[in-house]
Amino acid sequence: MNTKIHHKCKVQVRNEGMWPSYHPCKFKGIIERDGEWYCKKHDPVAIKEKYEQQDKLDEEEYKRKDEQWQRDIAMNHYCKNLTTEYMETHQAKTK
Ligand SMILES: [Zn+2]
């Protein structure tokens, strides 16, 4: 006898199209959060973690761009007093 209760994911999914309309998520609820059931995709904790992960990536990207920017400024500053001829000669040497 199968006594296992099947929960449905409680999330309403937005339908494609011009007008906002919603249909219940078709997936089975497999994760319980505060008495509500969610499928793997709509698990609020997983979604939160995903956002936090994205925030972390954004932060790293921002830091990387900031460093690049600082480097550009430093490079411009360094090259300001150099002639194009000098830079070309120097570049030729490093090749
Ligand atoms: Zn769902």
- In the reported structure, the alpha carbon of residue 30 is separated from the centroid of ligand 1 by a whole-number distance in angstroms of 9
Task: State the pLDDT at residue 3.
Answer: 57
Specify the pTM.
0.56
Looking at the fold, whether 89 and 55 belong to one and the same domain comes out as yes
- In the reported structure, the alpha carbon of residue 56 is separated from the centroid of ligand 1 by a whole-number distance in angstroms of 25
Task: State the pLDDT at residue 92.
Answer: 74
Give residues whose Cβ lies within 5 Å of ion ligand 1.
9, 11, 25, 27, 39, 42
Residue given tokens 């920017």 in the structure block: 69
Q: 3-state class of 36 per DSSP?
A: strand
Report how many domains make up the chain: 2
Amino acid at 77: H
The domain in which residue 58 lies consists of 44-95
- In the reported structure, the alpha carbon of residue 42 is separated from the centroid of ligand 1 by a whole-number distance in angstroms of 5
> Which regions of the chain are under pLDDT 70?
1-4, 94-95
C-alpha–C-alpha distance, residues 91 and 80, integer Å: 16
Residues contacting 32, CB < 8 A, separation 6+: 7, 38
Looking at the fold, whether 52 and 91 belong to one and the same domain comes out as yes
Task: State the pLDDT at residue 14.
Answer: 93
Task: State the pLDDT at residue 19.
Answer: 85
Task: State the pLDDT at residue 1.
Answer: 55
Looking at the fold, whether 29 and 54 belong to one and the same domain comes out as no
